[in-house]
Amino acid sequence: MIRTLHKMGIRSEHAYAAGIASIGLTVASWAASWFTENTARADRWGIFVGEWAPTFFALGLALRMEETHEAPEEEGVGPQRERLGQQYADVHR
């Protein structure tokens, strides 16, 4: 699923921005509900919207790992893999 999101053009920065925006939306929805309705409903709205932020940040981390991961069958042996191979060879001499 993460690879599909990545191929669709969604990057980790987009998910991080959505997480930060959802924090702001949490405060805004809580305040709007606080002034128009009762306290219990305002708290429920704030909690509901507030649960989105960790999800977006987790998606951001997964997308970041997808961005830095180089699949050998798709891109060949990348420089990161070559460095790891060299470090392995240096340690086991």
For the chain, domain boundaries: 2-91
Determine the pLDDT at residue 91.
Answer: 66
Q: In this model, does residue 31 exceed pLDDT 80?
A: yes
Sign of the CA dihedral with 20 first, then 24, 27, and 29 last: negative
Question: Higher pLDDT residue, 41 or 13?
Answer: 13
Give whole-number Cα distances, 50 to 38, 53, 63, in Å.
18, 6, 21
**Residue percentage of the chain with pLDDT more than 70:** 74
* Whether residue 72 has pLDDT greater than 90: no
- The pTM of the full predicted model, rounded to 2 decimals, is 0.66
